[in-house]
Amino acid sequence: MEGSPLTSAPLFQRYHDIVDDPAAFEEACRSPLPRFFWTNSLRTSPQRLAARLGSEGFDPRPLPWAPGAFRVPAEQSSLGRHWTYLAGHFQIQEASAMIPARVLAPETAHRVLDLCAAPGNKTVQCAVAMDNRGTVVGNDLDCGRLGPLRQSIDRLGLFNVTITCHDGVNYPPRTGPFDRILVDAPCSCEGTSRRAMDRSGRDRPPYHRFQRKQILLLSQAVRRCRVGGRIVYSTCTYAPEENEAVVDAVLKQFDGRLRILPFAVEGLRTTEGLTEWDRTTFLPDLAAARRIWPHHNDTGGFFIALLERIAGPPEEEAEPSPIGERAHPGGYQHISGRGESALKLLTDRFGIAPDTWAGLIFLENKAQVGFLAAASHRPPNLPEQTSGLKCIHLRPRYPILTTGAAAAFGPLAARNRIAATADQRDAYLRREAFTPSADQLANCDGTGYVLVGYQEAVLGMGFYGEEQGRIASLFPKSLAIGGCGTD
């Protein structure tokens, strides 16, 4: 991409005085970005995942600064079509974008808010790191951009996430205090140039256009954070106007109530935050922030600051109770009386132990879709929020497990589960019917819904017609592929 407007001198020359090797920096911005992903530890182990992908033509190499994460060469672009991805064994995410959630370091009992969540990779990264416990809230102003987050929750099998659609600048006080808040703010996105080479460039992006909103978002995060809680502010841009200047303004606004903390990520090369830029001086503490440059780690670019709320008057807010103690009056979801009977039907059909549902609350929405959320989950109480894993379609005469629930609970099934061959797997993922053998049908009860598995995974639901001797694929159109092999 030599000569791309985004990597031309007028744009990136402004950073030559603050980067150690301007030529290497610009060369990195013009080179293809490797593909990165992290293991869903709820489904598999990094060792098993690496071995599986390695045996099927990929070359996964561990990231030294991110346990359980890997990179493959840029040309191995079919990761998102591989069956292990579709079965929820890993999540694709740019390497530098993995760092903010790691620095946030959420724990299993925490309430976590991702204030600008879309498309949701950092939200689900926190949820998996918390071992599917605690409370993670993924919020975004644009409801249309939250679709990928819903898909990731279902594909990865998460019960501890709630999605809200609200203006982060005015996120309601009644949502209660949070232990950890991530503000991955909207920005000019210069750091994504390696994966967005066709992005139209300008000599001078409007850096100040985003600054006011960034300050308002970070200020609101401070108000929603409990004393002793921590906030990560991050962007994928190099511009000091959107990075150090924003954190500097909020530190001064909350003087004595907020501080910036130093941090390091072992194995990751970073540089200090700036304390001056373009004749403007920032607080000396800004050196504790970290900059990630693309030529240091062969990644995209990022800025990260870790903050701690150390004092302040209590905000007007109500501590949310566990989800099982309230009925979401007038909300999008409500606790459903049909949950017990629907789950019993599934238990009977697939031989799933009844205690599998212990610790989960069954919620139903207005479209008669059932969700399962952790009983200890403590989300906000906003009208349009959705909590938990989309589990069961209740409209048919016989409830149908969703693909996400089949992948989550299917490995526990004792019957009506088909172990597919590689060819049958590929047909299933293309939404094509296939003919099972007599051995494959040995634990099936005749015509009805079946779980379609491959090796240790369950891919989703099928329907076996005994008379036709075929299994129809019920794999979602939105995920179906033309082929699931490697490059």
Domain boundaries, the chain: 5-309, 326-408, 415-473
Res 373: pLDDT: 96
Answer yes or no: are the C-beta atoms of 309 and 225 closer than 8 Å.
Answer: yes
Which residue type, as a one-letter code, is found at position 165? C
CATH of the domain spanning 415-473: 2.30.130
Res 329: pLDDT: 53
Two tokens, residue 189: 């996105």
Cα 157–Cα 162–Cα 168 angle in degrees, nearest 5: 135
Cα 342–Cα 348–Cα 354 angle in degrees, nearest 5: 75
Q: Classify strands 225-235 and 178-184 as parallel, antiparallel or unpaired.
A: parallel
> DSSP letters of 344-380?
HHHHHHHT--GGGGTTEEEEEETTSEEEEEETT----
For residue 434, what are the β-bridge partners? 471
Round the CA-based radius of gyration of the chain to a whole number and report it: 24
Domain 5-309 belongs to what topology? Rossmann fold (3.40.50)
Res 384: pLDDT: 87
Among the listed residues 221, 239, 273, 246, the one whose alpha carbon sits nearest the alpha carbon of residue 116: 221
Q: Classify strands 135-140 and 302-309 as parallel, antiparallel or unpaired.
A: unpaired
Which residue type, as a one-letter code, is found at position 294? P
Query: Tokens 């191995």 map to which residue?
Result: 76
Q: What is the DSSP letter of 434?
A: B
Two tokens, residue 193: 């140039």
User: Pseudo-torsion of CA 233, 100, 79, 487, nearest 10°?
Assistant: 100
Q: Does the annotation count 236 as an active-site position?
A: yes
Residue-level length of the chain: 487
Res 316: pLDDT: 65
Residues 6+ positions from 35 with CB-CB distance below 8 Å = 71, 72, 73, 74, 76, 77, 79, 92
Q: Mean pLDDT, 10 residues at a time, over the chain (487 residues)?
A: 40 90 93 95 97 95 96 92 96 97 97 97 98 97 95 97 96 93 95 68 70 97 96 97 98 97 97 96 98 96 97 75 68 85 91 93 92 94 92 87 96 96 97 97 94 96 95 94 48
Query: Where does residue 448 fall: left (phi above 0), alpha (psi -120 to 50 degrees), or beta otherwise?
Result: left
Res 399: pLDDT: 86
- State the catalytic residue, choosing from 225, 236, 391, 444: 236
Q: Are both 5-309 and 415-473 of the same fold?
A: no
Query: Where does residue 205 fall: left (phi above 0), alpha (psi -120 to 50 degrees), or beta otherwise?
Result: beta
